[in-house]
A and B are shown apart, each in its own frame.
Chain A
Amino acid sequence: MKKILQITLGIVTSVGGFLEIGSVLTAAQAGAVFGYQLLWALLIGTVCLIFLVEMSGRLAAVSKHTIVDATRERFGFPFFFIVLVGMVLVAVLVLIAELGGIGLSLQLLTGIGFPWWAIPVSLLVWLLMWKGTFSLIENGASLLGLITISFVIAAIKLHPDWSSAGAGLLPTMPHDQKARYGFIAVSILGASISPYLMYFYSSGAIEDKWDESYIGVNRIIATLGMSFGGFLSMAVLIAAALSLHPRGIQPDTFDKTAVLMTSAFPKWGIVLFAASMLVACFGAAVEISLAIAYFFCQGFGWNWSQNLEPSKNARFALVYTIIILSSAIPLVFGIDPVKMTMISMALTAAMLPVAIVPFLFLMNDPIYMGKHGNGWVSNSVVAIIIILSFILAVISIPLEIMGG
């Protein structure tokens, strides 16, 4: 019975983790500029994420190690430190974007500019982590996250041509704006395949005391949960294709992006959009902050658990406190969260090899994985992700300059 409950909670958690400002804005960009043509990028991103998340959970359940634990132990401190710096730098940029997303949502609802919301919002995120337990965070943010289903309803209400949308699931080259196409595709992949989600998931599995009996459940959670998140992102793309594309609207501000909701819900669209983004970005901000704090603590061997009160894991609490509060600072100075999102998604794609290559070694380590190591299918998928991520790493920065 407990495992079934875990599945439903796990799926709901994935919703909270997958859909956030990056996936919404990149999907909206894709739909607005290229119609249905980039649906394949979301499909690939989702499939890759399913595999990676499943592996993260399996590693934790079988080896009783998180990815970071295992990375430090197997590769040593110097290599671990390089991964730490790379991952934390990118995660902080994404966190700034998420906190900015919460601020922009509140700006939509109240008219008060997002820089004014930066400090109150970050204090609220901090407070939830200071006082909340892992279950409260997992369940609370995720149940609220169900409001994002309004994107799906919006897409359906706009009467898409399903066969054209289906055709978008196969990769095609655009007639023009090739650099822009490439950049958005890279950003979609960077938004979908977020390393912090893997680190967070494996830490959560340890917090929830998973063991080998959870391997089956883990597979279900990873597949259904991430599919649901991918499905939501596709709905955003489709809604944007139907509402922004025909009118040539570029979703480079929140107001313009909200049109994908107001086209379907003229009366309540703004509120639904703002509420959905608020909840999605809030959940993501908490997950990223936890992921960064976990990274430090697991790597250095400090006490960590969201379920303990702060003084019982002081360094854990100090890390997330510093990270959250300092991420608010650029926003106070008015840095544009939308621009920040696009940059951070491209950089996430560029840093993927740093996260995925050691992961491949760990998933094939007989000491950690016993008889539950990767089969040839999983290994092939990871190998493809690594090749893809190297390509993304090399082309994302020039594309950023050319097409961003």
Chain B
Amino acid sequence: MDLVRDVLDRKLVDREDCDMGRVDGLVMQLGAHSQPRVTHILIGGTVPWTRLHPALRKLATNLARKWGPRRAEPVRIPWSRVITAGRDIRLDVKARDTGAIDWEIWIARNIIKRIPGGGQEEVE
């Protein structure tokens, strides 16, 4: 499998087909003499902005701390949770529990549902 072509920037879905964002980054662990292992998928946080330019990392961190769910750290999902890596990457998790849709929930709760007609139920 080719990592950049087949994994990086792919869409992630949870076990109930809920969109969880995209693979913004991947963590590789290096030992002194062992084969490097890709261990975690990274979603959101400062990861995509650091790819644009390293200087944006600080700006993104400061902004993220002030608004919304107030979390600047990306979501880390262990690779062991990947079920399939095809057109989308399917994970054996529930999106809600990972923190990947915290922004979605925060916006739904604090902005959208305050507007008439915005909806009653929580995001699944």
Contact = CB atoms under 8 A, between A and B. Distances in A.
A77 B51 contact: yes
A140 B105 CA distance: 31
Contact of B103 (A64, A311, A315): A315
B56 to A, nearest CB: 10
Contacts of B15: none
A304 B21 CA distance: 11
Interface in A59-89: 64-65, 69, 72-74, 76-78, 80-81
Interface string B88-107: 00000000000000011101
A310 B117 contact: yes
Interface string A288-304: 00000000000011111
A303 B19 contact: yes
A64 B104 CA distance: 24
A78 B9 contact: no
B58 to A, nearest CB: 18
B82 interface: no
B7 to A, nearest CB: 10
A300 B9 CA distance: 9
**Residue of A77, A130, A317 most packed against chain B (CB within 10 A):** A77
A311 B21 contact: no
Given A302-B21, A315-B103, A78 B117 contact: no
A384 interface: no
B32 interface: no
B121 A311 contact: yes
Contacts of B24: 77
A383 interface: no
Nearest to A309: B119
Contact of A314 (B10, B11, B18, B108): B108
A314 B8 CA distance: 25
B123 interface: yes
Nearest to A73: B9
Interface of B: 4-5, 8-12, 18-22, 24, 48, 51-52, 87, 103-105, 107-108, 111-113, 115, 117-124
Given A77-B48, A310-B117, 20 more contacts: A72-B9, A73-B11, A76-B9, A76-B51, A77-B9, A81-B48, A130-B117, A302-B19, A302-B104, A310-B112, A311-B108, A311-B121, A311-B123, A312-B119, A314-B107, A314-B108, A315-B103, A315-B104, A317-B112, A318-B107
